[in-house]
């Protein structure tokens, strides 16, 4: 069978048929799954030079934000270096991969960085990290200013429910992580969902970068899972002063938070939480 010339654009939800067992009873029914598809991110310079910098597994949706957020968070290009972002229509690309490949056209040459020689290849739940990466952050990131942001425990306790209430795709599938950006008043400013925790944060960062909202020093990031080094790195690159999570942080995440002045809150459930760094921002 020949492949369609104009394949359907993948969505965040995939419907399948399953067999559900309850006790000794079986029935066929429909089920909704969180879609997981690869996304290739390509850079194109003004002189026509092209390079693939990342292939990541993600949930389709907000793909341009994901590309911009990834590039910004990894320190590869700034938001002002991006001319356009579009799905790739190169002749070497099969039609069925069109919506899984994004081309970022730059105003500047493609950076000559060791990270590009390493070539990022990530799953939806991992990244490149370690003590060397933490040391390298000092070359491109400054500590987050203390600023005027002050939060109460009651503010923190309200975040998980607010995040969960806005997770539309999670409500259908039960299989997505979320990252929400809140104002100092507790208003949900933006939310993104993805099968990968770090992808959801990249989508938020990309949204902020492309709309000229960086840095996010007066905002709070709330994530639905645990906080890893990679998530903290992305928060730092966006200037976020407070990161909260419903689960635990890693040791390197805590080290990064303390070294760069980020308030890090974990195990935020009900009316309790652990403050691992930056307790001075919580009154």
126 is catalytic: yes
Question: Which residue from 162, 207, 211 is spatially nearest to 186, judged by alpha carbons?
Answer: 162
> Rg (Cα) of the chain, in Å, rounded?
20
Taking alpha carbons only, the member of 250, 231, 229 closest to residue 240 is: 231
Angle subtended at Cα 82 by Cα 211 and Cα 34, rounded to the nearest 5 degrees: 65
- Residue 272 is assigned to a ligand binding site: yes
Helix H or strand E segment including 276: strand 272-277
Q: Is 39 annotated as a binding residue?
A: no
Please give the Cα distance from 99 to 252 (Å, whole number): 35
155 is in an annotated binding site: no
Is 271 annotated as ligand-binding? yes
243-273 as b/e: b if 16+ CB within 10 A: bbbbeebbebbbbbbeebbbbbbbbbeeeeb
Q: Catalytic pick from 88, 126, 129, 244?
A: 126
Q: Which residues are catalytic?
A: 126
Residue ranges for the known binding site are 267-272
């Amino acid at each position: 069978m020949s492949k369609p010339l104009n394949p359907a654009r993948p969505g965040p939800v995939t419907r399948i048929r399953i067999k559900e067992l309850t006790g000794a009873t079986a029935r066929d029914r429909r089920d909704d799954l969180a879609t997981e598809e690869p996304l290739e991110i390509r850079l194109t310079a003004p002189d026509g030079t092209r390079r693939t910098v990342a292939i990541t597994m993600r949930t389709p949706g907000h793909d341009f934000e994901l590309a911009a957020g990834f590039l910004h968070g990894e320190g590869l290009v700034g938001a002002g270096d991006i001319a356009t972002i579009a799905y790739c229509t190169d002749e070497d690309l099969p039609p069925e991969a069109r919506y899984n490949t994004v081309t970022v056209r730059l105003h500047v040459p493609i950076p000559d960085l060791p990270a590009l020689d390493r070539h990022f290849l990530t799953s939806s739940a991992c990244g490149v990290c370690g003590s060397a990466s933490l040391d390298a952050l000092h070359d491109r990131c400054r500590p987050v200013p203390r600023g005027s942001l002050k939060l109460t425990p009651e503010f923190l306790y309200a975040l998980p429910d607010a995040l969960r209430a806005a997770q539309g795709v999670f409500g259908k599938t039960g299989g997505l992580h979320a990252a929400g950006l809140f104002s100092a008043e507790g208003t949900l400013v933006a939310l993104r969902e993805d099968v990968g925790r770090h992808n959801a944060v990249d989508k938020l960062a990309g949204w902020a970068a492309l709309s000229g909202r960086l840095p996010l020093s007066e905002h709070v990031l709330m994530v639905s899972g645990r906080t890893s080094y990679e998530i903290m790195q992305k928060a730092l690159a966006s200037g976020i002063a407070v990161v909260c999570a419903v689960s635990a942080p890693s040791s390197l995440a805590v080290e990064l938070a303390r070294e760069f002045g980020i308030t890090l809150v974990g195990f935020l459930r009900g009316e309790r939480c652990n403050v691992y760094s930056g307790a001075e921002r919580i009154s």
